[in-house]
Structure 1
Amino acid sequence: MPDSPRGVEAVLAKARAGLHRLTPTQARAAAARGALLIDTRTETQRAAAGELPGAIVIDRTVLEWRLDPSSGVNIPEAVSYDLEVVVVCRQGYSSGLAAASLREVGLWRATDMIGGFEAWTAAGLPVSAGPADVRR
């Protein structure tokens, strides 16, 4: 594929092309109707900026296994490939890649939040001091 676009920006654009990305307000509404709000920020990022109320924290390195209903190591909420999942990172970049990966696993309703946690706080949405619902 020598003529294919290269670099992380090309990969990110391809990942986002298949997503219906949500604004922070839309992500909050999705969580209110039962979507899983998944926070992939590091412990250091969460400690500095605060927790996302109602989110489940899953490390990016195990995200697909924890959300794949057939993995055998999935979280209890991951019961169906029809599950609505909204991935949130700090600025909305790695979450797009993560959501695309979840779609590859079969979670066809997976998406991410535009602008990440920083956009959430900029929109004036609530932040919590914790504790977070961390899943290992």
Structure 2
Amino acid sequence: MSAEQLLDEARLTLNRVEPHDLAGLSDVLVVDIRPAHNRAAEGEIPGSIPVERIVLEWRLDPNGEHRIPGFTADTTVVVLCNEGYASSLAARDLQRVGLPKATDLIGGFRAYAATGLPTRPGPTHPIT
């Protein structure tokens, strides 16, 4: 299976979010998986939390002992990366660990910023 096929397959289960719709979501956790150097150079979405991709499933397993506080299995989790590719695969993996409402941001941070929506300086220290 090619990377493109993997991506297409992952997106079949996602109810992906457009950047301008993000602010209208309730009970949402926005998770930024971009590397610190991208967050430093481009900024971050206000209210988002950075979680390194390498620990994402452990920090967002709703029943895991290493989970971060502030969400449940019913929370909508919107994952974002630079352009919306890696985030689709990450959101699919979060669905597999018990977050059925996990999804991602169409176009990633760059699409969000290009719309003129608010950003904050980064990088915020990631949850590791």
TM-score greater than 0.5 by the shorter chain: yes
* TM superposition shift of 1:82: 1.2
TM-score by length of 1: 0.89
Report what 1:110 is aligned to. 102
Is residue 45 of structure 2 the alignment partner of residue 52 of structure 1? Answer: yes
For 1:10, which of 5, 9, 18 is the aligned residue?
A: 5
Contact in 1 for aligned 2:36/2:123 (Cα 8 Å):
no
Structure 1's unaligned 5+ residue stretches are 1-5
Task: Find the aligned partners of 2:36 and 2:126 in 1 and give their Cα distance.
Answer: 10
Task: Find the aligned partners of 2:5 and 2:19 in 1 and give their Cα distance.
Answer: 24
2:54 is aligned with what amino acid?
T
Report what 1:66 is aligned to. 59
Report what 2:126 is aligned to. 134
* TM superposition shift of 1:129: 1.2
Task: Find the aligned partners of 1:67 and 1:18 in 2 and give their Cα distance.
Answer: 18
Task: Find the aligned partners of 2:59 and 2:23 in 1 and give their Cα distance.
Answer: 22
* TM superposition shift of 1:9: 0.3
Structure 2's unaligned 5+ residue stretches are none
Task: Find the aligned partners of 1:123 and 1:52 in 2 and give their Cα distance.
Answer: 12
For 2:117, which of 109, 112, 125 is the aligned residue?
A: 125
Q: Tell me which structure has the larger Cα radius of gyration.
A: 1
User: Could you say what the CA RMSD is over the residues aligned between the two structures, in angstroms?
Assistant: 1.2
SS in 1 for 2:69: coil
